[in-house]
Amino acid sequence: MTPIVTRFAPSPTGRLHVGNIRTALHNWMFAKANGGRFLLRIDDTDAARSEERFVEAIRVDLAWLGLTPDAEVRQSERFALYEARFDELVAAGRIYPAYETAQELDLKRKIQLGRGLPPVYDRAALALTDADRARLEGEGVQPHWRFRLDHDTAVEWDDLVRGDQRFEPATMSDPVVRRADGSWLYMLPSAIDDIDLGISHVVRGEDHVANTALQIQMFAALGATPPTFAHTALLTGSEGKLSKRLGSLGVDQLRESGIEPQAIRALLARLGTSDPVEPAVDMAPLLAGFDFGRFGRAPARFDEAELAQLNARVVHQLPLDAVRGRIPAGMEAEAWEAVRPNLSTVAEAADWWQVIEGPVDSPPVGEDADYLAAAAEAAAAIDWAADPWQALTAQLKQRTGRKGKALFLPLRRALTGRDHGPDMAALLPLIGRDRAVARLRQAVE
């Protein structure tokens, strides 16, 4: 069997965003679920827009997400390979020079549209003679280069998400593969890399479907069998339409807002399927059920509120070792496990550590002053070695006759300064006898 090899191919012109992350995750998951390899290909052929800081940011973001590539290549280091395969295709007549300016091409498109025709390149450059080309180049016109599509055979493939696909090449323009300045466009170098790197599956968004039809002919012209393709539906925002925000919501923003990588993975792994989104801290169950056949063709809805809720459920499962270094110094397992069920993000642990350590500002006690004075006396007298919260409330219930909210809420407010929070049975031993007595007394001063 052909080994499974996938690739994630970002351009280092900005930070990774939600759509990029989903593509990277799908490629990583498919490779790992099938015992294959996941490659990172930095598409930095555009020297003017590519920045080294974004290359490093991509590496950092993938590492944080746990999507470690098995190898990395950079297109900027592979120009000699592209040049050699380009020359082969020129010699074979599959790539040809074209001399129209951008303005001339735009005018042609407008004329075709005005006549009710599709704006497909008319291949006028193929009618030029050697003398015509020499004259143009003598006038300083440098050609761009187009890949000549084979119009005789329909392009067909079985897409792992979209099913059977068919394109008629005659309805498509011969794609430009190289600019007049010699720089490369995306499609030809990508196909050359997929062949050279042994990519078995190309997993990307449905906005690349037309590119795939063109690239399948490039694979054939290069004498290679094309990879298997999977085109997933694009993400939409919670408002139900394509959202510009999704194109700018970056990994750095998610990380800084307290979102855990496990929550991002758990959500994006299941979006677009009918499978329930669950707070999976471990990737094993997600990998076990990963199958492109489970993805639908309808747009996948990404909801930041759903991600936040999922994040809280992930945080509630994280052990101390997973958060150590992100919580206050001195906060050990007992304290972490006491406050963890009340957290939406790990950073919120600092707020509850402040509640434990003090000082706290309790709200006005009003008619509960006598009750809290009695609570202070009881807290000083009970045995703190076992379950001080049960001992304190049992004694106060017996002495005052209070029960329910009237028994518990004034104590919580005086001891924590808040109406809600972690289980007081877990919190009170952390606050400790001396601080608890002091807070109860302070509340009635």
Q: Are 281 and 260 in contact (CB under 8 A)?
A: no
Binding-site residues, in ranges, read: 244
DSSP state of 298: S
3 burial type by CB count under 10 A (0-12 exposed, 13-18 middle, 19+ buried) = exposed
Q: Which of 192, 231, 296, 274 is nearest to 27 (CA)?
A: 231
- List strands edge to edge, sheet with 71-74: 5-8, 37-42, 71-74
Alpha-carbon distance of 172 to 213, in angstroms, equals: 10
Binding-site residues for ATP, in ranges, read: 244
Please give the single-letter amino acid code of residue 117: L
Alpha-carbon distance of 182 to 94, in angstroms, equals: 17
User: 217 has which bridge partners?
Assistant: none
Pairing of strands 163-167, 155-159: antiparallel
Alpha-carbon distance of 81 to 195, in angstroms, equals: 11
